[in-house]
Amino acid sequence: MNRDNLLVKQPFDPGCYTEQVNQLLERMTVREKVGQLNLDHVSDSGDLTDCNLGERSSMEAEAEKVRRGLVGTMLMKGREEANYFQKVAVEESRLGIPLLFGFDVIHGHKTVFPVPLGGASTWDPQMLEEAEEYAAREAYADGINWIYAPMIDLCRDPRWGRVAEGAGEDPLLGSLIAQAKVRGLQTVNPETGYPYVAACFKHFCGYGLSQGGRDYEECETSPRTLFMDYMKPYQAAVDAGALSTMSAFSVLNGQAVTGSRYYLTEVLRKQFGFRGFVCSDYGAVKELVHHRVAADRKEAAAQALLAGVDEDMGSHAFADYCEALYEEDQRFAEAVDEAVRRILSVKFAVGLFEFPYFPEEAEKYMLAPEAREAARNVGRHSIVLLKNQEKILPLSPSKKYFLTGPLSDNVEEMPGAWAQYHPGTNVISVKMALEEAGLDFLQSDGCPFTGKYCFDSQDDSGFAKALKMAEECDEIIYVCGEKAAWSGENRGRVSIDLPKQQYRYLRELKKTGRKIISVLMCGRAMSCQELAESSDALVLAWHLGTEAGHSIADVLLGSYSPSGRLPITFPCYTGQVPYYHSWLSSGRSRESLIRYKDGENGPLYPFGYGLSYAEITYDAVHISRNRWKADETIRLEVVLTNHSEMDAYEVVQAYYQDVVSSLPTPDRKLCGFTKILVPAGSTVKAQMLIPVERLALMTLDLKEVVEPGEFILFVGRDSMCGESARIVVE
Ligand code: BGC
C-alpha cells in the first residue's frame, strides 16, 4: 500500500481501504467475522470482566479467545498487556487481524486536564484541540489506540451528572469544540503517519436530554429542537472525520437508540455521512430487553445489528448470537459483513496492520513537562471570575490569608469525574501552589468532606479551630464545592447547590467580618446564590485536573487575568432548570412577568458570563454592509481597548435574533465568538466571521433555511449584551 498517497488524501479516511478490507473479509469464517464485532473488557487486575455476565477469566483464557479470532476490540489500558494481546492477535491468530484497545480518556490521561465543561469555558477550540493531542499521545503510550471521547452531548439540565463531560448548553460552541477535539485526538503520529488513536464521539444521540437529570432516563424533545440544537455537535464530529461513535443507552423520542435504524443508519450514516463504526454503549444491546423492545439477548442482538450497531460493548450478545443469525437470514449475514468491513476499515485507518504495537519510547509522553504546562494553561483559561467586589482580587502580597474549605488542600478531588489514572497522584492542590508562590497564609480545611455521601455531614468539629485561625488573618480564601464523584455517569443531583455543611461553615466565616474570596470547584452549573451573595469574590474553578492548584494560583495572584466564560447558564435555583440562553421566544417576556411566585426569573449568571481583572471597553461594532445573501459570510469587527495595566484575553461573543420568521425562534442565540489577547493599555481590532447560514431556522420537516428578512446582532461579553447592529438577509 502506498501510504504517501494516503497521507496526501486523508490518512485516516476509512473509505480508502475497501480493497484490502474486502480481500480480508473473503478469507474470514463466520466465527471470525463475529469475533470482530465483539468487545471484551479486561479490568486492571487482568480479569476479563466479560460484560457483566458474571463470567471471569484470566489473561491466558482471554489470549486463547484472541488466538481463535473471537475478539475484535478490548476495553482496557496498559502497554505491556496490550502488546501481549496484540502479539497473540497478529502472530498467533489465523488471519493476524490486530486489536483495537479502547478506553475512556475523557479529559487527559495521566496528565489530567480540566473536566470538559470546565475546558469549554476557555471558548478556545484550538487550545482544546492541542489538549487532546497530549491526551492521545499519553493514551497511546499506555496501550490505547481507541478513545471513548469526545463526549459531546449537549445538556441544559445540570442536575445530570454527565453534564461535566460535555461542552454545555450551546450547539455552536459545542460543535466547534467537538470538531476540535476529534481532530486533536486523531492527531497523526509522525513516527507512523497514522493517528495515535481513533476517536469515538458519544453518546449518539440526545443522551444529554435525560429527564430530571436522572441518568439512563427517557430523553424527550421535539424533532425540531433535536436537530436544531442537540444533533449539531454530532454532525460536527462526523464532519471532522471521527472514526467511531457510541450509541446512547437512552430512549429518545420514543425509540431505544441502540435499536433504532432511524437514528443509527438513516440519520447518522445517510444524512450526516458518517463513515466510521458504531460501538454500543456498555450493555446497551442487552438493555433493549429492559426497554422491552426485544424478548431476549438474541432478539436484542438482531435488532441492534440491523439498526446499525457494529461493535457490541458489554452485552456479549453479538458474540453469542450473530453466528446463528448469520446462518438464519441473509439480512443478518449482510449486516455482519458490513459491520466487519467498517471495523476493519478503521483498523486500517489507524495503521494497525502496519504498526500494531505500542512502542516503549512512547512512555516519554506520560506527564511530560509540556503536557503539564498545557494542562496548567488550559486550567487558567477555564477559570471563570464570577464576582470581584471592590477588586479584592488579585491577592495582595502584603496581606495574610486564611485558606480554608474542604478543597483547599485536596488532591483527590482535583481531577474530577472520569479521571481514570490514579486520581490524586501527581496533582497540585491550591495550598501547594500558594505555598510555592510564597503567599503569607494559614490553612485548615474547617469542614472536610465526611459521611457516606458527604452531602449531609453534620460534623462541625473543625469549625472552632479554623475560625480562630481566620481571626489571625486579614482575608479568607474559601475553597468549596463538589467532590469529583458528584458528577459523571449516574451521578445526578436533586439540588445543584452547595451542601448544607459548607453553608453552615460559610456563615461562621462570615461572622468573623473578614472579606471572603470563594473558589468554587464543581462539575456542573451550580445554583449557589448564597455563596455568591456572601462572597466578596467568587472564582469558578471547576475540577481542573493535575495542575489545578497552579492554574488557580496563577489567577488568584494575578499573573493571569481570568478569561473563562460560562458555557452553561448558572440558575438561581435548582427549580429553574432546564435554563439556557436560547429559549424559543415566549408570548410574554421574561423581564416583564414574574413566573415564579417564590423566586427570581433570571439566572444567577447568564451563559457567556465571566469577568476580567482588566477593564476592556468595546467600540461600536462595524459590519461592512447591511444586506447579505444566504451563502455569504458576514465579517464583523469591533475595536477593544484595555484600560488597565494587565494583559487580558477577551471572549467577544455575537448573538442574533431573527426578527420575524415562519416559526418561533430564540430571542437570542450564539452565532459567533472569538478570543483575543488585548495587551495592557492597548487597542486591538477583534474580527469575527459569521456564515449567514448560521442564522438559519429549522423547519418542521427538519430542513435548515435562512429566511429572508431582518436580523438583530448583539455583540459583547456575554449573552445579555445589547443590540449592536441590524442586517437584512435577501
Ligand atoms: C459509559 C460510556 C463509557 C463506557 C465504557 C459506559 O457506562 O456510558 O461513556 O465510554 O461505559 O467505559
Query: How far apart are the two ends of the chain, measured CA to CA in Å?
Result: 50
Question: Could you tell me the three cell numbers for 221?
Answer: 424533545
Predicted pLDDT at 592: 67
| Distant-in-sequence, close-in-space partners of 96: CB < 8 Å, separation ≥ 6 | 89, 90
Rounded to two decimals, the pTM is 0.96
DSSP tag of 647? -
205 upstream amide cis, omega within 30 of 0:
yes
SS3 508: helix
Question: Could you tell me the three cell numbers for 373?
Answer: 504546562
Question: How many whole angstroms from 335 Cα to the centroid of ligand 1?
Answer: 24
Cβ of 281 closer than 6 Å to ligand 1, yes or no, is yes
- Which residue has cell 499506555? 142
Question: Could you tell me the three cell numbers for 178?
Answer: 467537538
| Distant-in-sequence, close-in-space partners of 643: CB < 8 Å, separation ≥ 6 | 614, 615, 616, 617, 681
Question: How many whole angstroms from 513 Cα to the centroid of ligand 1?
Answer: 47
Closest-CA residue to 383 (of 615, 558, 528, 581): 558
Closest-CA residue to 337 (of 14, 13, 29): 29
DSSP tag of 528? -
284 touches 260 (CB < 8 A):
no
Cβ of 282 closer than 6 Å to ligand 1, yes or no, is yes
Ligand 1 mutation pick, 217, 489, 491, max ligand atoms within 8 A of CB: 489
Q: Whose CA is nearest to atom 6 of ligand 1?
A: 282
Question: How many whole angstroms from 525 Cα to the centroid of ligand 1?
Answer: 22
Give pLDDT tens digits for 631-685. 999 999 999 999 999 999 999 999 999 999 999 999 999 999 999 999 999 999 9
Distance CA 486, CA 503 (A): 17
Is residue 456 annotated as part of the catalytic site, yes or no? Answer: no
590 touches 602 (CB < 8 A):
yes
Predicted pLDDT at 54: 40
Give pLDDT tens digits for 28-58. 999 999 999 999 988 655 555 543 334 445 7
SS3 61: helix
Cβ of 216 closer than 6 Å to ligand 1, yes or no, is no
| Distant-in-sequence, close-in-space partners of 613: CB < 8 Å, separation ≥ 6 | 385, 388, 391, 393, 394, 558, 561, 562, 644, 646, 648
Helix (H) or strand (E) holding 593: none
Question: How many whole angstroms from 204 Cα to the centroid of ligand 1?
Answer: 12
Ligand 1 mutation pick, 75, 160, 281, 418, max ligand atoms within 8 A of CB: 281
CB environment 120-133: b (16+ within 10 A), e (fewer): bbbbbbebbbbbbb
CA distances from 193 to 10, 12, 186, 354 (A): 10, 9, 11, 10
The count of other CB atoms within 10 Å of the CB of residue 657 is 20
Cβ of 202 closer than 6 Å to ligand 1, yes or no, is yes
684 touches 678 (CB < 8 A):
yes
394 upstream amide cis, omega within 30 of 0:
yes
Q: Whose CA is nearest to atom 11 of ligand 1?
A: 282
For residue 149, the ligand 1 atom closest to its alpha carbon is 10
Cα Rg of the chain (Å, integer): 26
Handedness of CA 497, 499, 500, 501 (dihedral sign): negative
Distance CA 355, CA 365 (A): 18
The reply to whether CATH 3.40.1280.10 applies to domain 11-364 is no
Ligand 1 mutation pick, 104, 247, 287, max ligand atoms within 8 A of CB: 104
Q: Whose CA is nearest to atom 8 of ligand 1?
A: 281
Helix, strand, coil % over all residues of the chain, rounded to 5: 35, 20, 45
285 touches 304 (CB < 8 A):
yes
Predicted pLDDT at 61: 87
CA distances from 602 to 213, 307, 533, 579 (A): 21, 43, 15, 9
Distance CA 87, CA 85 (A): 5
Low-confidence ranges of the chain (pLDDT < 50): 1-9, 50-56
CA distances from 447 to 117, 479, 480, 502 (A): 26, 10, 9, 7
Question: How many whole angstroms from 702 Cα to the centroid of ligand 1?
Answer: 30
Question: How many whole angstroms from 484 Cα to the centroid of ligand 1?
Answer: 17
Which one from 281, 312, 409, 445 is the annotated catalytic residue? 281
Q: Which CATH architecture has domain 616-729?
A: Sandwich (2.60)
Instruction: Determine if residue 225 is left, alpha or beta; phi over 0 gives left, psi from -120 to 50 gives alpha, anything else beta.
Output: alpha
| Distant-in-sequence, close-in-space partners of 10: CB < 8 Å, separation ≥ 6 | 16, 241
| Distant-in-sequence, close-in-space partners of 66: CB < 8 Å, separation ≥ 6 | 85, 88, 89, 92, 93, 99
Please compute, for residue 337, the number of CA atoms within 13 A of its CA located in the half-sphere on the CB side.
Answer: 17
CATH 3.20.20.300 domain position(s) in the chain: 11-364
- Residue range 375-576 forms a domain whose CATH class is alpha beta
CA distances from 718 to 248, 262, 521, 654, 722 (A): 32, 37, 22, 9, 9
Predicted pLDDT at 718: 97
CATH 2.60.40.10 domain position(s) in the chain: 616-729
Question: Could you tell me the three cell numbers for 180?
Answer: 476540535
CATH 3.40.50.1700 domain position(s) in the chain: 375-576
Closest-CA residue to 259 (of 236, 290, 235, 229): 290
DSSP tag of 114? P
